[in-house]
Chain A
Amino acid sequence: MTSAPHRFALIQRVLHWLMAVCVLAMLFIGVGMVSTVAPKYLPLILVHKTTGFILLVLVLIRLALRLHYGAPPLPADLSKTMKLGAGLSHQLLYGLMIVMPLLGIGMLWAAAYPVILYGGIRIPALLPQSDLMHTLLWNAHVYVGFAFFALVLLHLAAGLFHALIRRDGVFASMSLLPLRDRGTQTK
Chain B
Amino acid sequence: MNQGKLPRSGLGSLVLIAAVLGGGAAAFAYTAGWLSPERLTPERMIAALTPPSGPPLGHRRNHAKGICFTGTFEANGNGAELSKARVFERGAYPALGRFNLGTADPNAVDATVRVRGLGLQIAAADGEEWRMALINPPVFAVSTPQAFHELLIASGKKDPEAMKSFIQANPEFAAFAAWAKTAPWTTSYAEDFYNGLNSFIFTDAKGGERAVRWSLVPMAKGVPVSQADLEKRGPDFLEQEIVERVRTAGPQRWTMVTTVADPGDPTADPSKAWPENRRKVEVGTLIVQRIEPERDGPCRDINFDPTVLPQGIRVSDDPFPAARSSVYRKSYDLRAAEARDYPRTETAKP
Is residue B129 contacting chain A, with contact meaning CB distance below 8 A?
A: yes
Cβ–Cβ < 8 Å partners of A135 in chain B? 333, 336-337, 339
Which listed residue (A41, A122, A149) contacts B28, Cβ 8 A? Answer: A149
B45 to chain A, nearest CB (A): 6
Which stretch in B18-26, B72-80, B97-105 binds the other chain? B18-26
Is residue B207 contacting chain A, with contact meaning CB distance below 8 A?
A: no
B323 to chain A, nearest CB (A): 4
Question: A138 — nearest CB in chain B belongs to which residue?
Answer: B333
Is residue B113 contacting chain A, with contact meaning CB distance below 8 A?
A: no
Chain B interface size band reads 35 or more
A121 to chain B, nearest CB (A): 11
Asked if B45 and A160 make an inter-chain contact with CB atoms under 8 angstroms apart, the answer reads: no
Is residue A124 contacting chain B, with contact meaning CB distance below 8 A?
A: yes
Chain A interface size band reads 20 to 34
Cβ–Cβ < 8 Å partners of A35 in chain B? 31-33, 39, 41-43
- Given A31-B31, A164-B17, A165-B10, residue A37 in contact with residue B323 (CB < 8 A): yes
CA distance A63 to B17 in the complex (A): 28
Asked if B302 and A112 make an inter-chain contact with CB atoms under 8 angstroms apart, the answer reads: yes
Is residue A34 contacting chain B, with contact meaning CB distance below 8 A?
A: yes
Which listed residue (A42, A134, A157, A161) contacts B315, Cβ 8 A? Answer: A42
Asked if A32 and B32 make an inter-chain contact with CB atoms under 8 angstroms apart, the answer reads: yes
A134 to chain B, nearest CB (A): 5
Digit string of B289-332 for contact with A (CB within 8 Å is 1, else 0)?
A: 00000000000011101011001000101010111011101101
- Given A32-B31, A113-B305, A129-B301, residue A157 in contact with residue B21 (CB < 8 A): yes
Is residue B13 contacting chain A, with contact meaning CB distance below 8 A?
A: yes
Cβ–Cβ < 8 Å partners of B308 in chain A? 113-114
Question: B121 — nearest CB in chain A belongs to which residue?
Answer: A112
Of residues 107 through 144 on chain A, the ones whose CB sits less than 8 Å from some CB of chain B are 111-114, 120, 122, 124, 129, 131-132, 134-135, 138
Question: A161 — nearest CB in chain B belongs to which residue?
Answer: B17
Number of A-B contacts (CB under 8 A): 109
Cβ–Cβ < 8 Å partners of A157 in chain B? 17, 20-21
CA distance A46 to B127 in the complex (A): 19
Tell me if A's interface is mostly helix, strand, loop or mixed: helix
Is residue B145 contacting chain A, with contact meaning CB distance below 8 A?
A: yes
Which listed residue (A31, A38, A161) contacts B323, Cβ 8 A? Answer: A38
Which listed residue (A124, A134, A149, A153) contacts B127, Cβ 8 A? Answer: A124
Is residue B223 contacting chain A, with contact meaning CB distance below 8 A?
A: no
Of residues 240 through 278 on chain B, the ones whose CB sits less than 8 Å from some CB of chain A are none
Asked if A28 and B31 make an inter-chain contact with CB atoms under 8 angstroms apart, the answer reads: yes
Asked if A156 and B325 make an inter-chain contact with CB atoms under 8 angstroms apart, the answer reads: no
CA distance A149 to B333 in the complex (A): 22
Asked if A131 and B336 make an inter-chain contact with CB atoms under 8 angstroms apart, the answer reads: yes
Cβ–Cβ < 8 Å partners of B319 in chain A? 38-39
B57 to chain A, nearest CB (A): 13
Is residue A27 contacting chain B, with contact meaning CB distance below 8 A?
A: yes
Cβ–Cβ < 8 Å partners of A138 in chain B? 333, 336-337
**CB-based closest 10 A-B pairs:** A35-B33, A31-B32, A164-B13, A131-B339, A37-B323, A131-B336, A135-B337, A32-B31, A129-B301, A37-B326
Using a CB–CB cutoff of 8 Å, the interface residues on chain A facing chain B are 27-28, 31-32, 34-42, 111-114, 120, 122, 124, 129, 131-132, 134-135, 138, 149, 153, 156-157, 160-161, 164-165
